[in-house]
A and B are shown apart, each in its own frame.
Chain A
């Protein structure tokens, strides 16, 4: 079945799909977004239930292989030490992300020039800065201006409380003379734009029922739908169609909520399915013109997969830290070790993020993203009574460098519910990352002790958090050279002139910060370039 053609067809209603739709609104083009999941109703948020923690291990797990909802696709990550996590539905992974919102830094866009690794981006921080600002205003970002680790900017809303835990750690960093700053967060510190401020529930991963967290289900989509953007849910794209004469994308085939396969024609196709979903779809869209997958003349679709490998260090303090009170991931962030320093034995760097602690069930089961229950018996009682309430921790978030062997391919056997091949992840840690994690662990211990921790909990340094593949980047990277990149400096495929990619797959390098602020700023930047070049868009 075929529907009326549209001007712009966006695949995916998450962070980037919503942002570019907003950017293109003023063109008055007919915009359609296909989303494989659905809207979440208020009653669907588990944080309103007494047993809310159970949802983290079932229908609201961040891991699609655990959730197994009808809109999810399985991911074969047996060949990876980190498994990708996500949410499929309106809002995408901004439904269950933690709202931590640091920007990338100027050096992140020039790693080849500065440090001889990765590649330089085809744009720089300053080109993106106005779009960071624009997106912060649309999202409702809270933070404190004047962070000396960045060129000057000021978030639109005042910071959220850093709380006892943040204050304690900040004093530790001050004693060491190290950088720290209250984190920028996509979480409202005050009522804003019809949304309620954060109530410090501490369950951001279970969706923010209050709308305080800047998921695009609360920020962009209400505006977009009111303005006439069509959002077609339960619509899973199967393949991107190509005109065999022109080589241009002409639309998609998708499985609709009626169980039928539909054809949707479009003048322009925009992929916004994240760093795993987008290469999966391109690799599955083969044709006589593109036998190795769409937009893949470079052979780089799916290659250079980057995550942010994480490890955590916890200290036990003398007073309760109330770590479950407040947004989960964000209190303060130290970037003391972010920039390269050859004396450390690795290139690039990492951040030390003060996570708050988690809820009792998740702690007992090993922590957020980890399946390794704490001991049973008398030791269990001791830990839950005398350790858990007194914990504060630091998460080491490392920059991941692009390596071609880390990649997304199509699984030859595993499929989703519609028979579309599942993505298969091949990924391992580099020696550079291992050295960075080790260095970060030692510095985190120093910071916790300086903050007053009476002891540091042992940590298995050979392990990174497995269920921590939130940040999926690099698998369709940007660049000026078609032989060495998939899209150009404004997200347009080198091979297919009316195919754009706007999600994290176009990152050239990963930085060592949560990527959503940059993903959305890039989507707005690309939207701006499309508008600027509208007269010669497909030349």
Chain B
């Protein structure tokens, strides 16, 4: 059984909405959320969370009534008319999009799992760090110590 059964028309509608929420960038070769199939992630979530399933169904039903097509104005109307459902859709769409390693890499973060590779960050040399902190050191002690006479 599919996670969240959708007709081809509904799927196209959801993809169009997603491409409005997280649009791609031709210039940077970044696809939109609909284009990369975030709808599959949403269907997966809907199958496990009845509240989201209901919200998604209501949103799609309302969106299907938008006869002028799906553009940013239509999405804004959807947001205004169903703010709770829309907020859930937005949150899950961001999760679906940015949980993909390839999309993470598009904004400059490693596609790999954080462990075990991590990132190479060069250790500052003692000389560099010494010169950077020199003005701070030069101020001398910089705290109140009531156990020292006059330190309070």
Contacts and interface: CB of A to CB of B under 8 A. Distances in A.
Interface of A: 45, 47-54, 57, 105-107, 110, 113-114, 124-126, 144, 146, 148-151, 158-163, 167, 170-171, 173-174, 177, 179-182, 189, 198-203, 206, 209-210, 320, 322, 324-326, 335, 338-339, 359-361, 364-365, 373, 376-378, 380-381, 384-385, 388-389
B139 A179 contact: yes
A381 B147 contact: no
Nearest to A120: B146
Contact of B94 (A322, A361, A385): A361
23 contacts: A48-B115, A52-B114, A105-B143, A105-B144, A113-B152, A125-B147, A144-B133, A146-B137, A150-B143, A159-B129, A161-B124, A167-B132, A173-B136, A200-B121, A203-B115, A322-B108, A326-B121, A335-B142, A359-B104, A364-B97, A373-B90, A373-B94, A378-B72
Interface string B100-122: 11011001110011111111111
Contacts of A360: 98, 103-104, 107, 109
B129 A361 contact: no
Given A325-B119, A376-B90, A385-B107, A57 B136 contact: no
B119 A359 contact: no
Contacts of B146: 106-107, 110, 113-114, 124
10 smallest beta-carbon distances between A and B, as pairs: A199-B118, A361-B98, A201-B114, A325-B119, A201-B118, A106-B145, A51-B99, A47-B114, A107-B144, A203-B114
Contact of A361 (B23, B99, B115, B136): B99
Contacts of A364: 94, 97-98
A106 B121 CA distance: 34
A179 B136 contact: yes
Interface in B17-49: 20-25, 28, 30
Contacts of A325: 119, 121
B16 to A, nearest CB: 13
Nearest to A190: B123
Contacts of A162: 124
B5 interface: no
Contacts, number: 184
A151 B143 contact: yes
Interface of A: prevailing SS: loop
Given A105-B143, A107-B146, A373-B94, A200 B133 contact: no
B75 interface: yes
Contacts of A199: 115-119
Contact of A170 (B30, B132, B141, B147): B132
B91 interface: yes
B151 interface: yes
B150 interface: no
Contacts of B140: 148
A125 to B, nearest CB: 7
B8 interface: no
Interface of B: 20-25, 28, 30, 72, 75, 87, 90-91, 94-95, 97-101, 103-104, 107-109, 112-124, 129, 132-133, 135-137, 139-147, 151-152
Nearest to A196: B116
Given A106-B144, A199-B119, A365-B94, 11 more contacts: A48-B116, A107-B146, A114-B146, A171-B132, A180-B136, A200-B121, A359-B98, A359-B109, A364-B97, A365-B91, A377-B20
Contacts of B21: 376-377, 380
Which of A47, A361, A378 lies at the interface centre, i.e. has the most chain B CB atoms within 10 A of its CB? A361
A387 B151 CA distance: 45
Given A376-B22, A378-B72, A149 B113 contact: no
A166 to B, nearest CB: 9
A539 to B, nearest CB: 30
Contacts of A51: 99-101
Which of A180, A376, A378 lies at the interface centre, i.e. has the most chain B CB atoms within 10 A of its CB? A376
Which of B24, B98, B137 lies at the interface centre, i.e. has the most chain A CB atoms within 10 A of its CB? B98
A2 B16 CA distance: 63
B122 A161 contact: yes
A110 B101 contact: no
B87 to A, nearest CB: 8
